[in-house]
Chains A and B, each alone.
Chain A
């Protein structure tokens, strides 16, 4: 039977153990292999998926641009004189040099490659080739060379409440369809009708595979155990009113919790006798004095969009996170801390204070920076072993309990479909 497969595909199947049937098992080789990394770039990041690029607020005027990445592919998002946003590879069509070297710029009229000065308009079309007709009739490009036939690959763009997403695949469904109503409404909840402003940007370099960070984001089970802060101050007790939403495909998720007005004294944690119940108190409890974020009771909402985007509201700390693979065992995590133009000065101060909760030094997120590395190091020499994801059952369905790994299973459901690892029997 394998004789009908192309040679390299047959070889691949030989040295890569088969993906397990059930959603409750994830083989460790998926975090370790270079061939997997390459296929992810092709199938996911350049495939029919939407990747977060930047905020619309970061490219407000014609001539503004930002450089960013889709997976490990460098891209440019620019605003043309027509007022529209355009996205294209940050790669010269001549010999492949970067077109833009800076993180951002403004008043750009065009992009001119430093190497041989081929130039591109703000939409990413090749418009000029230096010495195209040669000098004094000598040299130059052949007559048949046509500018329109050359250029960096263009992205399809979608802007959603000020978030700019891009895809290299023309066949990607519209962003609304891609996300589905529940995820859309949860993005709308945080960003709808408001104008985000950037309060700061920070990057964390994680010593692990990017998927370990995505698993962590979707793993509501660990949140109040690994992060003592969450539990002690009642920010996110698993017993609190809340739940998990997993999108139909499994790809995207929302985890949320809300103030329980009939506030219970949660016996769940002391019963477990785990580390997260302590006498620990803040000397300055004003850290957690916030305001109702959008007039509702939801104090925490973590939302992820497959393959590598997170929108976070923890109390009044709002941020977007962009997860960029940088190799099998290296990930770049870009944090953009947000406020809103509508904020009062007092609300702005609350946001700056509560930013202590997140980022590379966050009271409740610094652990996430190292725990992926603990897994990456722990699974060395265990490529044939598998992770066990049985908390909360076997499915990738939404639930009111957050003592579940349902959204982590959802990630793998979408992942193995996108990677053509296994599609039948998915629950």
Chain B
């Protein structure tokens, strides 16, 4: 295998933009980070290690992610809040010219309207990226939260 792309640079850049998109509240742009036939799932470390398949969010294509967004914007009720994602460096697990698998630790602080900021979730992204020129898009993102407990609700995606 002749690897000529810089997977680390492509992935770091994509992750930075991904986090900024959610933290800025630009939810409409979020599905754009994924491939059309992607898989996205939010689960817990306990489920993941037991090999349990379910997620609190589970999608097997990008249209399901768009539905998440329109439901959030038009249907679901929750108090206004924002996230601050703090991402670790991606660890590249496997790479080729076509794509890469990576794992990245994250910490998400939830900032509520009343001014409180709390650590809402920590965990890791288990990702499969596809490269297209200078762009990396997500073919798969499994969000593995360290804790099995979610405070109140999970509206915005991680």
Q: Which residues of A contact B (CB under 8 A)?
A: 103, 198-207, 226, 228-229, 232, 278, 280, 282-284, 287, 332, 337, 348-349, 351-353, 355-356, 359-363, 366-367, 369-371, 373
Contact = CB atoms under 8 A, between A and B. Distances in A.
Interface size class of B (residues with CB under 8 A): 35 or more
A204 B147 CA distance: 11
14 contacts: A200-B54, A201-B44, A201-B46, A204-B149, A229-B76, A282-B67, A349-B60, A351-B54, A352-B58, A353-B58, A356-B57, A356-B64, A360-B56, A370-B153
Interface in B62-90: 63-64, 66-67, 70-71, 74-79
A283 B55 CA distance: 20
Contacts of B43: 200
B158 to A, nearest CB: 10
Contacts of B148: 201-203
B48 to A, nearest CB: 10
A363 B149 CA distance: 18
B57 A280 contact: no
Say what secondary structure dominates the interface of chain A.
mixed
The 8 closest A-B pairs by CB, nearest first: A200-B54, A369-B153, A284-B63, A228-B75, A283-B63, A199-B54, A361-B154, A360-B150
Contacts of A283: 63-64, 66-67, 70
Given A352-B55, A361-B42, A367-B78, A287 B64 contact: yes
B47 interface: yes
A371 B152 CA distance: 9
B3 interface: no
Interface of B: 42-44, 46-47, 52-61, 63-64, 66-67, 70-71, 74-79, 148-155
Contacts, number: 117
A174 B79 CA distance: 44
Contact of B150 (A103, A205, A278, A367): A205
Nearest to B73: A280
Main SS of the interface on chain B? Answer: mixed
B152 A355 contact: no
B76 A228 contact: yes
Contact of A361 (B61, B63, B155): B155
B152 A363 contact: no
Contact of A229 (B58, B71, B150): B71
A359 B152 contact: no
Contacts of B54: 199-200, 337, 351-352, 355
Contacts of A356: 57-59, 64
A332 B149 CA distance: 9
Contacts of B151: 204-205, 207
A341 B148 CA distance: 25
Contacts of B44: 201-202
B74 A369 contact: no
A360 B149 CA distance: 9
Contacts of B52: 198-201
Contacts of B53: 199-200, 348, 352
Nearest to A365: B153
Contacts of B59: 356
Contacts of B55: 200, 352, 355
A236 B77 CA distance: 18
Contacts of B153: 204, 360-361, 366-367, 369-370
A361 to B, nearest CB: 4
Given A228-B75, A280-B70, A356-B64, 14 more contacts: A200-B53, A201-B47, A201-B52, A202-B44, A202-B148, A205-B149, A284-B61, A287-B64, A287-B67, A352-B53, A360-B154, A361-B57, A361-B153, A370-B77
